[in-house]
Structure 1
């Protein structure tokens, strides 16, 4: 993550805790993304035994985007895989440049990832402050 991009306290409480929260049943889905070959931070090895045991579902998709294709890796609890399908539609639209309302998509993605309404509102307010400073 860019060092200049700092989130306020309370936002991002799932970061680096996705697997722990999923195994506790408090996080229904996790998403990891980056440009193809740009990053090796995808915690696949940590999730692999749980995927193999059927406790977690894994879906990966490479989405074409200029100048670099994007890799999306999703994990969901059994019965929550519908969240991956909805999130993938939003990711495809983002990569295609066809998003109509970025804030609405950000809010919905937060819901799909299991964030509270309060965390989502704080994140959207943070984005708005950033746009106002530009």
Structure 2
């Protein structure tokens, strides 16, 4: 059985055309993927919801100093914010999330799966059965 936690919050895009306009987002964690967190945005019009999945440790460490290479980086921001930078081959977005929300979300996730106990929550047999015919 998996257990999940989800925190809704208002985020901003400080490098976007409307840096002070808040956008709803969710931070999600599921014990079935104990190393990962998800940052999700609701669908706009007919589009699918946008979501990015990246390392829980990356988010945790990024609260204290810049971390990450490639598609996702995390760093402390101004005014008690955490900056999550998402990159794709054609675009880049900086998401500013309240640091208190990130910290509370991570505390919930670490209550569900303590740091260092992630492997105890992996279902290796199910993953292999899915990969092998």
Higher strand share: 2
TM-score, length-normalised on structure 1?
0.30
Higher helix share: 1
TM-score, length-normalised on structure 2?
0.31
